[in-house]
């Protein structure tokens, strides 16, 4: 009977699947899949529609939330059937949530074709500690003095868990970095926790499901602390202890037993402290691990801790504590050395073939006291010797001392390195590449974009952009991962944001970082140069501080989430306010600026070839742009008063620009590529003068033999401006340029990441000045945005942000026969790929359900276009909506389409 029932239930499910034309999948809560530890009291739900039909739009949804996986009836909250096409970020609106509890939710949808989906598979989220009083743990620090070498302290605590555990959750944070173990097993797979925020104002804790680690009977928790960003040397002039001189731990383990009773194990003075094998650990300088000092079994029950010293309770604040929404740093790709070789200087070096960020896991067998030192480098110098000068003061060295008891495995814990090459000293025995595994570490954001083309150099450029992102997205967006810097430079982050948004799901990562931008903004409204700010009261540089307006706006475009604008609005306004306060009649010509950082310049410049753009001209352009973005945000948020005020101000800013920096004929006074690019991109010139300015830009590019001369600020917009003014051919010739300065020059020189400078390595293999020469700096990777949005041509519409309304407008390039990209929007997969073949242009397109698209087919009239080998027929899913020079415009619903049209490759 039971079997029969099961069978009929299974049949019912499979039948409902068979008839279901629309399904719901990819459920996320606050953009995360089944997150543990959200402190949001109204978390927001998103889902994707899946259908094998074209032109699918959601017309209604129904959500229900319950406290177990089988949500009975309406659960604890139901939205009821809501007529809406919204499938992203719908807030929970039920009764208040309880701390540390798991909630389950399901959704079903109705579509425009009369279909109803089955209820989705339930997703869940677990709440964090919602009230400060939920924290029963105390801050503790080691009970001994650590003024000397700052050996990493260990903390331990034993406890008995009397009954069968239903759920165990650990809440952990630290001053410094932490690694926790329960019964000898690592808690979670996150590294460099608790991540980096403006600690004095915002300190994140992580929440772990440790049900599988806690056992009935005796248990032990062990935690190691490292200096981390909290008190390592950071920035320059030997400055350390940016947030304090202590390291400290806050940990709470909440256990619920199957009988419903609970138990908490919390950090307090009953914990004991000692030291272990990590003798030294610094972000820039590396780590020393002495396995002889390992306390074997220290995080398991029954370990003899008689000599350990009671931990000290500290009164540090808990008011700054926050749950974590950004994806933690995790281990990703692993690499074995491609080559093991001896340099002319006789040093033993491993080559991993990829400039990556993370560390090397080493296996070794030797005598007690044998010491291995690994040093890291990005490049080898001209003569084939190991080169670390460009790391400046960062030692980037890990030292491992063997215990001498068979094979031992080492890796660092609270530091990382940026490297392609590793020098090995003191290794006992011969080097077997299998014993040296490099591991890439970076924030665990979902990969969202892939790009391919017929040009292998461009594909390598994309690869380099991607590895620039991986290496520099370690909890905060950094400038570089290897030298004594690794800081959240605001300018770098803003120029690269849009590109990054194609490659990874960067929404939560930047949401967190933008909160730090606001938290660290100076009282004047100036934004510090780096966030989290460890440089003191410096800030206000044009193009750097504008991160305050640019990233929120671009995030809104990429993800369609208004919350980022609401959240950042005061910060955006304060930044614009700062520029106003520094201006005289809206002309901002004061203060220190980085300008068009690292633009093309030549030594002994007698002919005036260096592309120097007046820093105040740049400042005026960004002043206008930020004001425009503030107006945009105010418009979205319905703040009409601000729209009016800032629109008047913007007109005056542009007027001041024209008077000060343009000639009556519309040339810019600097007459550089960057000056035209910014003036055009930000609409600084009157309509009538724009095309001639674009012509001047092109003339300038030609004067440099089809080379760019732009630095950090001009480069991101260069190709966009060229395309906008009808010069896509010139944009392509810059993109495909192989000699310096260009994007492909480093590729030709063997780069595997984006370089800080156009000529980090010269054609004769000598280097730029070591004081500023990173080989992993993502700023110039900003061209990735043009490759996705213009070359392949996928973009969101301004009136349907977050890809609710999509534009597909490919730009077919010279010498390239195909290019395509796939991008996982929050609605689902969007892709476009064009190919020129046998006198035909093929265009394959996929548009996610619950979105619509405008597709521009490069053709002269609709009659020339076939779709799936048939002439175009206007219907619900596809309508011809007119022509534009060179394109036929179609309106399309979701689905997969294959277009083809005649193509004359010579045109
Ligand atoms: C960093 C940059 C940063 C710049 C500002 C450098 O040291 O590496 O990328 O934007 O300083 O001038």
Q: What is the pLDDT of residues 37-64, one digit of tens each?
A: 999 999 999 999 999 999 999 999 999 9
**Once rounded to an integer, what is the mean pLDDT over residues 94-116?**
97
Say yes or no to pLDDT of 340 above 70. Answer: yes
| Residue 544 CA, closest ligand 1 atom number | 10
Q: What is the pLDDT of residues 818-863, one digit of tens each?
A: 999 999 999 999 999 999 999 999 999 999 999 999 999 999 999 9
Question: Residues with Cβ < 8 Å from 343, sequence gap 6 or more?
Answer: 349, 380, 384, 385, 386
| Residue 479 CA, closest ligand 1 atom number | 9
- Give 907's pLDDT tier (boundaries 50, 70, 90): low
* pLDDT at residue 840, rounded to an integer: 96
- Give 6's pLDDT tier (boundaries 50, 70, 90): very low
| Residue 490 CA, closest ligand 1 atom number | 10
Mutate to test the pocket of ligand 1, among 284, 378, 481, 492 (most ligand atoms within 8 A of CB): 492
**Once rounded to an integer, what is the mean pLDDT over residues 626-637?**
98
* pLDDT at residue 147, rounded to an integer: 75
Say yes or no to pLDDT of 9 above 60. Answer: no
The angle formed by the CA atoms of residues 845, 851 and 855, to the nearest 5 degrees, is 40
3-state class (DSSP) for residue 710 = coil
* pLDDT at residue 567, rounded to an integer: 98
* pLDDT at residue 615, rounded to an integer: 98
Say yes or no to pLDDT of 7 above 70. Answer: no
* Nearest protein Cα to ligand 1, atom 5: 594
Query: Which residues surround ligand 1 with Cβ inside 6 Å?
Result: 479-480, 485, 489, 491-492, 594, 597, 777
Q: Compute the distance from residue 777 Cα to the ligand 1 centre, in Å.
A: 9
How crowded is residue 809: how many other Cβ atoms within 10 Å of its Cβ?
20
* pLDDT at residue 8, rounded to an integer: 45
Helix (H) or strand (E) holding 420: strand 417-425
Query: Residue 107 gets which letter from DSSP?
Result: E
- C-beta of residue 807 within 8 angstroms of C-beta of residue 881: no
Question: Catalytic residue at 756?
Answer: yes
Say yes or no to pLDDT of 558 above 70. Answer: yes
- C-beta of residue 123 within 8 angstroms of C-beta of residue 28: yes
- Burial of residue 18 (CB within 10 Å: 0-12, 13-18, 19+) is exposed
Q: What is the pLDDT of residues 270-324, one digit of tens each?
A: 999 999 999 999 999 999 999 999 999 999 999 999 999 999 999 999 999 999 9
**Once rounded to an integer, what is the mean pLDDT over residues 104-117?**
97
CA atoms within 13 A of residue 600's CA, in its CB half-sphere: 19
Q: Compute the distance from residue 479 Cα to the ligand 1 centre, in Å.
A: 7
Say yes or no to pLDDT of 72 above 70. Answer: yes
* pLDDT at residue 20, rounded to an integer: 63
- Burial of residue 44 (CB within 10 Å: 0-12, 13-18, 19+) is middle
**Once rounded to an integer, what is the mean pLDDT over residues 752-759?**
97
Say yes or no to pLDDT of 906 above 80. Answer: no
Question: Residues with Cβ < 8 Å from 382, sequence gap 6 or more?
Answer: 764, 765, 766
Residue 315 to residue 140: CA distance in whole angstroms: 8
CA atoms within 13 A of residue 82's CA, in its CB half-sphere: 14
3-state class (DSSP) for residue 841 = strand
Question: Catalytic residue at 327?
Answer: no
Percent of the chain surpassing pLDDT 70? 98
Query: Residue 777 gets which letter from DSSP?
Result: -
Q: Compute the distance from residue 532 Cα to the ligand 1 centre, in Å.
A: 15
């Amino acid at each position: 009977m039971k079997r029969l029932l099961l069978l009929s239930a299974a049949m019912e499910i499979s039948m409902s699947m068979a008839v279901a034309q629309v399904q719901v999948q990819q459920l996320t809560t606050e953009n995360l899949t089944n997150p543990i530890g959200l402190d949001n009291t109204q978390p927001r739900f998103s889902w994707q529609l899946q259908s094998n039909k074209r032109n699918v739009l959601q017309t209604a949804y129904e959500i229900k939330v319950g406290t177990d996986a089988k949500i009975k009836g309406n659960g604890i909250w139901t939205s009821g059937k809501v007529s809406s096409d919204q499938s992203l970020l719908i807030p929970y609106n039920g009764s208040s949530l309880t701390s540390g509890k798991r909630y389950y939710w399901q959704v079903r949808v109705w579509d425009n074709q009369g279909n109803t989906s089955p209820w989705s598979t339930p997703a869940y989220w677990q709440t964090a500690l919602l009230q400060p009083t939920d924290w029963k743990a105390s801050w503790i620090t080691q009970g001994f003095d650590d003024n000397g070498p700052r050996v990493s302290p260990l903390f331990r605590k034993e406890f008995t868990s009397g009954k069968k555990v239903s759920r165990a959750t650990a809440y952990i944070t630290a001053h410094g970095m932490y690694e926790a173990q329960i019964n000898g097993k690592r808690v979670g797979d996150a590294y460099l926790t608790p991540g980096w925020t403006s600690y004095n104002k915002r300190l994140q804790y992580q929440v772990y499901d440790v049900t599988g680690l806690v056992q009935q009977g005796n248990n032990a928790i062990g935690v190691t602390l490292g200096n981390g960003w909290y008190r390592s040397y950071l920035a320059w002039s030997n400055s350390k202890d940016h947030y304090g001189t202590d390291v400290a731990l806050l940990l709470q383990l909440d256990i619920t037993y199957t009988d419903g009773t609970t138990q908490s194990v919390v950090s307090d003075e009953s914990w004991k402290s000692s030291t272990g094998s990590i003798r030294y650990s610094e972000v820039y300088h590396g780590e020393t691990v002495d396995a002889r000092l390992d306390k074997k079994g220290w995080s398991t029950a029954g370990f003899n801790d008689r000599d350990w010293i009671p931990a000290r309770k500290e009164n540090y604040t808990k008011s700054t504590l926050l749950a974590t929404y950004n994806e933690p740093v995790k281990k990703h790709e692993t690499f074995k050395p491609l080559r093991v070789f001896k340099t002319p200087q006789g040093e033993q070096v491993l080559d991993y073939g990829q400039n990556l960020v993370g560390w090397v896991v080493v296996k070794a067998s030797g005598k007690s006291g044998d010491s291995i030192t690994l040093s890291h480098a990005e490049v080898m110098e001209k003569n084939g010797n190991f080169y670390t000068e460009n790391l400046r003061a960062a030692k980037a060295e890990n030292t491992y001392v063997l215990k001498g008891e068979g094979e031992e495995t080492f890796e660092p814990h609270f530091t990382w390195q940026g490297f392609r090459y590793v020098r090995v000293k003191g290794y006992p025995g011969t080097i077997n590449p299998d014993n040296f595994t490099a591991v890439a570490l970076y924030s665990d954001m979902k990969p969202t974009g892939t790009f391919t083309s017929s040009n292998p150099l461009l594909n390598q450029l994309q690869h380099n952009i991607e590895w620039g992102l991986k290496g520099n997205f370690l909890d905060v967006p950094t400038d570089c991962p290897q030298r004594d810097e690794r800081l959240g430079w605001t300018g770098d982050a803003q120029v690269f944001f849009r590109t990054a948004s194609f490659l990874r799901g960067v929404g939560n990562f930047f949401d967190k970082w933008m909160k730090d931008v606001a938290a660290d903004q100076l009282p004047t409204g100036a934004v510090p140069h780096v966030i989290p700010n460890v440089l003191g009261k410096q800030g206000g540089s044009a193009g750097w501080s504008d991160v305050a307006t640019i990233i929120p706006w671009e995030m809104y475009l990429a993800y369609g989430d208004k919350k980022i604008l609401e959240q950042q609005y005061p910060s955006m306004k304060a930044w614009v306010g700062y520029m106003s306060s520094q201006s005289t009649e809206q002309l901002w010509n004061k203060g220190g600026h980085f300008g068009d950082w690292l633009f093309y310049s030549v030594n002994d410049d007698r002919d005036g070839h260096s592309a120097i753009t007046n820093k105040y001209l740049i400042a005026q352009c960004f002043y206008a742009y930020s004001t425009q973005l503030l107006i945009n945000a105010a418009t979205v948020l319905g703040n009409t008063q601000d729209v009016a005020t800032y629109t008047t101000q913007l007109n005056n800013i542009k007027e001041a620009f024209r008077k000060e920096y343009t000639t009556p004929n519309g040339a810019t006074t600097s007459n550089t590529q960057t000056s035209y690019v910014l003036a055009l991109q930000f609409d600084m010139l009157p309509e009538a003068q724009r095309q001639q300015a674009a012509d001047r830009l092109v003339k300038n590019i030609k004067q440099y033999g089809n080379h760019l001369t732009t630095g950090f600020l001009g480069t991101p917009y260069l190709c966009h401006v060229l395309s906008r003014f009808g010069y896509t051919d010139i944009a392509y010739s810059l993109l495909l340029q192989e000699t310096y300065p260009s994007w492909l020059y480093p590729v030709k020189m063997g780069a595997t990441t984006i370089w800080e400078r156009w000529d980090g390595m010269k054609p004769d293999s000598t280097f730029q000045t070591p004081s500023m020469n990173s080989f992993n700096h993502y700023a110039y990777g900003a061209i990735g945005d043009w490759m996705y949005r213009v070359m392949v041509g996928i973009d969101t519409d301004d009136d349907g942000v977050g890809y609710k309304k999509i534009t597909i407008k490919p730009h077919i390039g010279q010498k390239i026969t195909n290019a395509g990209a796939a991008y996982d929007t929050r609605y689902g997969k969007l892709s476009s790929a064009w190919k020129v073949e046998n006198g035909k242009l093929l265009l394959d397109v996929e548009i996610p359900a619950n979105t619509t698209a405008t597709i521009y087919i490069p053709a002269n009239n609709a009659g020339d276009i076939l779709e799936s080998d048939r002439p175009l027929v206007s219907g619900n899913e596809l309508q011809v909506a007119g022509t534009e020079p060179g394109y036929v415009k179609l309106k399309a619903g979701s689905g997969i389409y294959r277009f083809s049209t005649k193509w004359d490759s010579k045109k």
